[in-house]
Copies of this chain bind each other. A is one copy, B any other.
Amino acid sequence: MDPRVREHAETLVDWSARIEAGDDVVVSVAEGAHELGVAVAAALGERGANVVTTYGSAEVDRAYVEAHDGDFSEPAHELALYEHADAVLRLGGGRNTAEGAGVAPEKQRARGEATKGVREARMDTDWVSTVHPTRSLAQQAGMSLSEYRDFVYDAVLRDWAALADEMDRMKDVLDAGSEVRIVNEGTDLTMRIDGRTAVNSCASVAYDSHNLPSGEVFTAPYATEGHVTFDVPMTVRGEAVRDVRLTFADGEVVDVEAAQGEATIREVVETDEGSKRLGELGIGMNRGIDRVTDNILFDEKMGGTVHLALGRAYDANTPEGETGNDSAVHVDLITDMRGESRLDVDGETVQEDGVFVWE
């Protein structure tokens, strides 16, 4: 076994999920994540945790939903499983990222409603999602398997404690700041952040961060003014989007242009009132991620990028009892700061040409 698989498992179990002896853990193993499943089981055994292993198969899932008449009921046994679990480790990595394509959306919705309690019980645990590098994900990223493995382990096997410290610096700047300005080729955008709290998302439940890899600091901006160009290629709702340019006035999108996928972005913007405003400003700080792989789990964490989401804000960014921007959507778009660029907070430059001032 590639020793990095073991390191991945140990990072997941110790840094991310903080598993202790006697914890009741559910491990979901995707079709292609067997090897990581074995390594995670060994790490959990060593720590004296209890394990139930579920099979996270997109093919099994699809066969079930397609055959069902759509009148779903709440699965009492699944609910009981998660209500009694301390942690849920989701090992992604299927054999076909398009396996869910074409399943009737109304059935998916009906199932989602019937299993709402199950999902809430799962989110109530110390859950963490990660991925094993599979051929299917390598294909989506346009890489050979061995190159993709290197990419994933560079992203996952960080000195997370050191990165968490660095991200705390960024969080402190944002928490103390009132206004953020982003400038790069095609972008000059300002937004307010006063009264908002930034989240240090460093891939650990101890920081309320549930993805491995992670590596971003995010907050919930408002009163956005100016224009921004998202030059990182992405897939949004199954459509390729390229060089999206949004213009904001009084906090709302007033103009949309794109080299590709303009109709898709207009659709997103016009969803509801909240989808015209930003819900998230995220600053990618994971230097292990150095290129785009068309997988948002990785792309938005890339060091030297900034992402903005149209739509819903996270509650963690607003004071207890208050909520930020509300919308049915949350669509991330990314701009690369690794050219001529500046990220200022209250007029002080925090990052120049994609490099933080403390780097």
Contacts and interface: CB of A to CB of B under 8 A. Distances in A.
B38 A60 contact: yes
A222 to B, nearest CB: 41
Interface stretch (A51-59, A198-206, A227-235, A254-262): A51-59
Interface in A47-103: 48, 50-55, 57, 59-61, 63-69, 71-86
A45 interface: yes
Contacts of A73: 22, 48, 50
Of the listed residues A63, A78, A79, the one surrounded by the most CB atoms of chain B closer than 10 A to its CB is: A63
Nearest to A83: B80
A42 interface: yes
Interface string A34-49: 1001110111111010
B80 A66 contact: no
A24 B63 contact: no
A6 to B, nearest CB: 10
Nearest to A22: B73
B55 A54 contact: yes
A26 interface: yes
A93 to B, nearest CB: 13
Contact of A52 (B51, B63, B77): B77
Contacts of A44: 64, 67
A31 interface: yes
Contact of A53 (B37, B48, B54, B76): B54
B64 A48 contact: no
Contact of A68 (B45, B54, B68, B80): B45
Contacts of A60: 29, 34, 37-38, 41, 53
B57 A26 contact: no
Nearest to A65: B45
A29 B50 contact: no
Contact of A84 (B37, B54, B77): B77
A39 B53 CA distance: 20
Contacts of A77: 24, 26, 50, 52, 80-82, 84-86
A132 B44 CA distance: 29
Contacts of A76: 24, 50, 84
A112 to B, nearest CB: 14
Contacts of A34: 31, 57, 59-60
Contacts of A31: 34
A205 to B, nearest CB: 17
22 contacts: A24-B77, A29-B55, A31-B34, A34-B57, A34-B60, A37-B57, A37-B60, A38-B57, A41-B64, A42-B67, A45-B65, A45-B68, A46-B67, A48-B71, A48-B73, A50-B72, A50-B76, A54-B55, A76-B84, A77-B82, A77-B86, A81-B81
Q: Which 9 A-B pairs have the closest CB atoms?
A: A45-B67, A50-B75, A80-B80, A77-B84, A45-B68, A55-B55, A41-B64, A45-B64, A42-B63
